[in-house]
Structure 1
Amino acid sequence: MTTEAVLEESAEPGEIYTAYFHTVQELTEALTAADTLGLGVRVESYTVTPEDDPDSQTTEFKFTLLTEQPVRTEEA
């Protein structure tokens, strides 16, 4: 196995916990806690349209707590 292959395999930290937040304040609290513990995070945002009000949309967040800080690699 090449050094590059080993780095690619180890670049993906393990997931500890996943939560879904409805507000930025909730997300900020989770980010602060993860930073205090020295853990990594992955945050994804998505738009939700309520069935009872199709003209309105809200942004929600998927928060994944990782075992360590993710390594960002540059893509060619």
Structure 2
Amino acid sequence: MITARQTRAARALLGWTQETLAEKALVSLTALKRLESENGLEVYETTRDQVSKVLEGNGIVFLTSDQGEGVMLVRAKIESSHSS
């Protein structure tokens, strides 16, 4: 499950505003603000899923380990099918 901090960090890596992410994920701005809140506000699982799918679809990888959590932005690999 993605955390509020991971969502904010992922959005920052992409250079997106809350409005941009809400629009791309097809969720309300209020729902996104609840998701990004550190106050433990209830968020529908569908909202969390839609947001994580949009972020992952734009190169975000969510990281979780016993030492903490984070995010990473991966770039699309350049196709090497033409180099032989």
Same fold by TM-score greater than 0.5: no
Higher relative contact order (CA 8 A, sep 6+): 1
Computing the radius of gyration from Cα coordinates, the structure with the larger value is: 1
TM-score computed with the length of structure 1 as normaliser = 0.29
- The structure carrying a bigger helix percent of its residues is 2
- The structure carrying a bigger strand percent of its residues is 1
TM-score computed with the length of structure 2 as normaliser = 0.27
